[in-house]
Structure 1
């Protein structure tokens, strides 16, 4: 069904819910390591976390997944959750925190429009931590259309911005 309808330009993704095997383990990652705030528990099977006091940006639940094996990278489902940081310095600070915690297998890319870190949560869900460059710096083709790419991100340069 093709229509001329376009979603309103101010529409935002409000929150996500992740099925997890172990709620405490997931809270240790998202709250203790990444720094989200625990807003509330929903019994002993779910928790809601946020940045800045919003009711929740991420819901973590074990409703259908308690003690389940990690998510398969080859199966269908969510590829990754992308968490947008307000400044490059904020991205540098979380990278420094991950390094100090010896968090394994952190990937990093410069996409032209953004700079990103990639990791896996304790349930093997993909997590992207990123910062958007100012829109006027996004790379464009000669016709004005957006061009994105994947180049290595210089992590030593990023670390220089950490507090």
Structure 2
């Protein structure tokens, strides 16, 4: 460990990360990730059988609308983590070949949960990548359309490290798979456990300065990690990252209507006033904002669409 690093909890919140003029509330949360896929049946086999999602609803195609499926965790029928929209013949996602989504990440409550998932995936013979990011332990899988899915657990913040400048320290170390599997004990995997959330998203963008202008300066995320080659990690509330923004596929085309792709993602505010203020900042900065019944829909420079949601008032 670098002797110049400090425990995360040794710095006050205002010294961790680079803060924009107007910050997002600490209580924001990621909502539903909406994906266009080539085959709903094929995707459901993976999302339910491998990842352990609970199917909340399935709607057949009708009146020009695609067949859809909403997925979440058992016991939470209104909390949709992923929505799938069938688009037959949608082209698969090439590796680092298209601007848009790189991966979405499911955050499990405990290390034991991650161990049970890893043991389950290995028993199915599914290829699982892995890494220790210092603040988290992560596994990676690829779905039938080529989307990468991360399944991970966080270490407690008391175990995170920062530089003297307040940059959260990330790593790409080997995962202690033996320790993770041992943490699972003898309990079997029974699907995504209660408490699973959408932990973060990671995007391929075309330019980091433009990405920072949209997500940091206009939207209001703090920049938490800025020394990784070709990437920025941004978050609210002192988290290690709600979004990863990279240029590892810069020069590639953006996803089109012919592709399996991210249709939109959701960000939830604690109230409508702060949400609408963020929409106003984005519009004032020159980004397209479309009013919808669910909230403002804004588009970043690479066609990634973000739906701004507000929690119901008490």
On whether the aligned pair clears a TM of 0.5, the verdict is yes
Q: Whole-Å Cα distance in 1 between the matches of residues 118 and 47 of structure 2?
A: 14
Aligned residues: 158
Matches within 5 A, 1:18-57: 18-44=35-61, 45-52=67-74, 53-55=76-78, 56-57=80-81
1:92 aligns with 2:115: yes
Q: Whole-Å Cα distance in 2 between the matches of residues 137 and 54 of structure 1?
A: 34
> For 1:116-149, what per-residue CA distance to the aligned partner results, in whole angstroms no more than 9, with x for missing partners?
0011011110100000100111122245542111
Q: Whole-Å Cα distance in 1 between the matches of residues 82 and 91 of structure 2?
A: 21
Counterpart of 1:122 (choices 128, 134, 144) is 144
Aligned to 2:179: 157
Q: Which shifted more, 26-35 or 126-135?
A: 26-35
Specify the SS of the correspondent of 1:152. coil
User: Larger radius of gyration, structure 1 or 2?
Assistant: 2
TM-score, normalised to structure 1, is 0.90
For CA contacts below 8 A with separation 6 or more, give which structure has more relative contact order. 2
Specify the SS of the correspondent of 2:30. coil
What root-mean-square deviation, in Å, do the aligned CA atoms of Structure 1 and Structure 2 show? 1.5
Specify the SS of the correspondent of 1:39. strand
> For 1:34-83, what per-residue CA distance to the aligned partner results, in whole angstroms no more than 9, with x for missing partners?
11111101224110010242421100111xx3132311221111000100
Task: Provide runs of 4+ in structure 1 moved above 6 Å.
Answer: none
Counterpart of 1:76 (choices 82, 91, 99) is 99
1:61 aligns with 2:77: no
Unmatched 5+ stretches in structure 1: none
Unmatched 5+ stretches in structure 2: 1-19, 62-66, 188-314
Q: Whole-Å Cα distance in 2 between the matches of residues 25 and 133 of structure 1?
A: 34
Q: Which shifted more, 48-57 or 13-22?
A: 48-57
